[in-house]
Every structure is written in C-alpha cells, then in structure tokens.
Amino acid sequence: MAAMCYKISINSNINTNGLLSPPPNKLHSHLLLSNQKFCGRRTLASPPFSLIRSKKCWHGSLRVSNSSQSSASNSFDVVIVGAGIIGLTIARHLLLASDLSVALVDAAVPCSGATGAGQGYIWKAHKTPGTEKWDLMMRSHQLWESLAKRIQLQGMDPLEVLGWKKTGSLLVSKTTDESAILKRRVEELSQEGLRAEFLSSNDLLSEEPELVVEKEGGAAFFPDDYQLDAHRTVAFIEKGNRHFAVEGRYAEFYHEPAIGLVRHGNSCEVGAIQTSKNTLHSKKAVVIAAGCWTGSLMHDLIKQPDIDLDLPIKPRKGHLLVIENFKSFKLNHGIMEAGYTKHQSATLKATSSDSGPVYNAQDLSVSMTATMDASGNLVLGSSRQLVGFNTEVDESVINHIWQRVGEFIPALRHESLEDLRESREVRIGLRPYIPDGKPVIGLVPGFSNVFLAAGHEGEGLSLALGTAEMIADMVLGNPSKVDAAPFTLLGRCFH
C-alpha cells in the first residue's frame, strides 16, 4: 500500500521570511488545514481542541496537499507526537542542531491545544530562585532572548514576528501582608542579579496609571520580563521547520492522532508510531509531547504487562478574555495579582444546568492577569479548573474574570462586558497539570528510545526552548546544559 505523505504549500498570510503579513489581527484563531473552518461547538468526542470563541472565525488557510509517496518516505530519525509549543520547538531544535529527519504528528493542528490559549508571559517575576525549575527557566529565557536578538539581526522585528515585547512585569499586592511578601521577592530576585524594585501604590500610579491599589498595596516591578504572542510564535517556528521539508528532513502529519506504538518484538525499542492514517517509522527516537493528553495517550499506547506507567497529567482548564483592538486606555506592562502564585480560590457559586457545564466551586480559581498584546488587544485572565477535558465556555467564569480585573483596574468598571460582546474573544486551553508542579522531561523507563516532554501547566511557553534543548540533547547523546534530574519520570510516574 502506498503511504501518504503531506507536502506543504503556504498561502499569502505567511511571507517568505516566516513573518505574518498583513499584521495578524486574526491570528487569535486556529491555523486550519485544507480550508477547514472551525468556529462551532466542540463535542467531547472530537479530537483535542482548545477553543477560541468569538463572533469571528479566521478564514485564512494553510494548505496541506496529499501526494502518494513510497513508504520509505514514512521513515524518520525522530517522530514527535504533539505539535503544541513543546513538540514544535523540539522539532525546531533537532532540525537546527543535527542532521536528523523529523516527523511531527498532531491529532489536530498546532494552536488547538493549550498553546493557542497562552497569554504569553515569559516572566521571572513569579518564579523562585533555588527551586528545581529555576535553572531550566533561566536557560529557556536566555534562549528566547537570543532568538529574538537573532531575528532582529536578520533585519526583522521580533514584535512583528513573535509578538515579542519587553513589557516588564508587575506583581500587584492589595494588602500589607502581600506587600511584605512581594518586598521579600524583590530582594530575593535582586540577589540573583535581576533588576527588581518594589513600587508603593503612588509610584505604581506613575508606572501604570490605570492600576489602582490602596496605600497598603503596591507592586513588585521586574522591568526585564517579556511577553510573546503564542500564535505569531507558533507560525514563525512552523515556517522555520518547513524550510527543512525541502531537503526531506521534515514532514507534518496533522489531523492524524497517534493511536499506537509499534515495538520490535519484545524489545524495549519502539520502531514506529501508528497514526490514524500512517505508520511512521522512527530510526532513532520517539518523543511524546501531547500536553494534557500525554497521560491518557501513554496509557493507551503502552499495553505491556511489564510496564506500569502512571502519568498523573491532568487537564487544567483556563479561560482568557480578549477584548480586540481596545482603545479606551493602554497598559504599559504585563500585570498579575500577587495571589496568582497560590491560585487563589474564588467564591463563585457552583452552577448546573442541562446544557451548560457543571463544576464544583472548589475547583475554580481566578486570579487577575492583564496585558496588551502585539495587536493592541486587551488580554485578561485567568481561571483554573480541574474539570476534565471539557472546553465549553463558561460565561460565569468570564464574568468572574471581568469583575476580578475591575477590582484592580477601575476604569474597566465603566465598560459593559455586554457592550463589548462584539469585540470579544474567549480563549480556552487545557493546561497540562502535574500535581508535583514539574514537567516530565526524559526517557520512559522500560524503553530505550521513547522520551516524554509534557506537564508544563501554566509555563509551557516560558519553558519551551529550554525543554526542547534538553530533549534534543538527550536524543543526540549530548551533555545537558541544565540538570535534567528533577524532571525524570523515575520515582514520579510508576507504581
């Protein structure tokens, strides 16, 4: 049987430099394949999607045409499952750092998972020095900064290409206790050599005029924090990866869920990934980077009595409210309330209806985040809920986010959410949550060539490049730039 392989042709939304043109107001939408349009309601039976709900759908297209190829063209050095920011950047790193060939498989398309909903904070402000993730975060941010610099050196604008902005970050306190915690954080991060200062409520007004707190409050200010636009960044990385398609080193298999691992007899080596349409042979390694679906996927893929993998990754649902082309005021920085780090519990009442979602108030936490993205949209968040794979919009959560942000930015109270309905978008994503708070990055015990990279919860964009480098080094047998031991599966994912 002749195997099918995808050849890619790209429409005029993406120019030859990998830049998006015209300025991508509509990029908070999915990249769609084969002129498919998606703006309807997802049923739970459909493939994994995080959703962007708006009155608009993006009608751009990224065409992927089928062509018959010999089965040899379905053989790659590395097969990666999951084309979110983690899978995409792993592919990128392998393509740039070696001469290996890479296949990227996704059940849907890149921004359909958590990645498409990400707010884009590349922040150190809420990270703690000395913790197990600190070095990985520092390395990852270093790699993001050098990528932005390289883009600039090539005569392109990182803002245009990645939505990359040095906004600085403000962690905002309302009470004396929170202010004391933030002052300690400023001290701690200053000792690490980062620029940081505590702003009183008065000083805060001159830095961010719309942000109002009482005199007990204030903000920890970290001027060197960044943000990016996940959709622009994904488009750029995809474009870069696709340059390697010409020399036969890269192929995408979208809308092809992985459904099986093919082992060489009883050996500990996986020889291929079976998708819904193809058998993709892997000569060197298989990497599973399927976000919150990784746990159930591995459970389905590994049906070996000798391997008892229990990967505790769960979907943690998040809503973001985007007000497009917001003109009433500007925000200068990325903003987050101090309580974010504790995932402050909200007091929203449980709701239940025949058509709507059902959840327990204990599962919901909402903390204020606010920023303006590269397209001038006001991006407000965010919520966290453990409600399975449900991706329905919950209006009560949106109202709760709106109210919470209004407590910090009173000017918003003069706006009616109802009046803004026409210009609003709701993004929903399922963060890959692991109870111990660290991603899993490493070899699956029991296999010699299967690696996992998943569980980044609310920091997958921030940690992506560091994770990609770490996995690539493991696959290539290079020494790791950052200690990988904290992220091993051993002792965390087995009975």
Ligand X SMILES: Cc1cc2nc3c(=O)[nH]c(=O)nc-3n(C[C@H](O)[C@H](O)[C@H](O)COP(=O)(O)OP(=O)(O)OC[C@H]3O[C@@H](n4cnc5c(N)ncnc54)[C@H](O)[C@@H]3O)c2cc1C
Query: Which residues of the chain form contacts with ligand X (CB under 6 A)?
Result: 48, 81-87, 105-108, 112-115, 117-121, 257-258, 289-291, 293, 297, 318, 320, 381-382, 429, 431-432, 454, 456-462
* Least Å from the CB of residue 68 to ligand X: 23
Token code pair at residue 355: 């058509």
Quote the DSSP letter at residue 488. -
Task: State which residue, 58 or 201, has the beta carbon closest to ligand X.
Answer: 58
Shortest approach of ligand X to residue 456 CB, angstroms?
Answer: 4
Which single residue is written with the structure tokens 């870069």?
240
Q: Which is nearer to ligand X, 88 or 443 (CB)?
A: 88
Residue 107 or 213: the one with the smaller Cβ distance to ligand X is 107
Residue 236 CB, shortest distance to ligand X, in Å, is 15
DSSP per residue, 43-70: PTTSPP---EEES------EEEEEEEE-
The residue (of 24 and 439) whose beta carbon lies closer to ligand X is: 439
To the nearest whole angstrom, how small is the minimum distance from the Cβ of residue 16 to ligand X?
Answer: 26
413-431 CB burial, b ≥16 within 10 A, e <16: eebebeebeebbbbbbbbb
β-pairing, 169-173 vs 218-222, is antiparallel
Would you say 105 or 409 has its CB closer to ligand X? 105
Q: How many CA atoms lie within 13 A of 104 on its CB side?
A: 31
- What is the smallest separation between the CB atom of 325 and ligand X, expressed in angstroms? 20
CB of residue 260 to ligand X, shortest distance in Å: 10
Q: Nearest to residue 443, comparing CAs of 487, 483, 482?
A: 487
Compute the distance between CA of residue 460 and CA of residue 441 in angstroms, rounded to an integer: 12
Q: Say if strands 378-384 and 365-372 run parallel, antiparallel, or are unpaired.
A: antiparallel
Helix runs in 243-307, H state only: 294-301
Q: Which residues pair with 226 in a beta bridge?
A: 122
> Of 201 and 387, which CB lies nearer to ligand X in the complex structure?
387
- Count of beta carbons in the 10 Å neighbourhood of residue 409: 19
Q: Please report how close the Cβ of residue 430 comes to ligand X at its closest, in angstroms.
A: 6
Complex with ligand X: residue 42 or 431, whichever CB lies closer: 431
CA distance 10 to 365: 40
What would the two tokens of residue 293 be?
Answer: 């679906």
* Segment (H or E) for 300: helix 294-301
Give one word for 474, left, alpha or beta, with left for phi > 0 and alpha for psi -120 to 50.
alpha
Question: Least CB distance from residue 269 to ligand X, whole Å?
Answer: 20
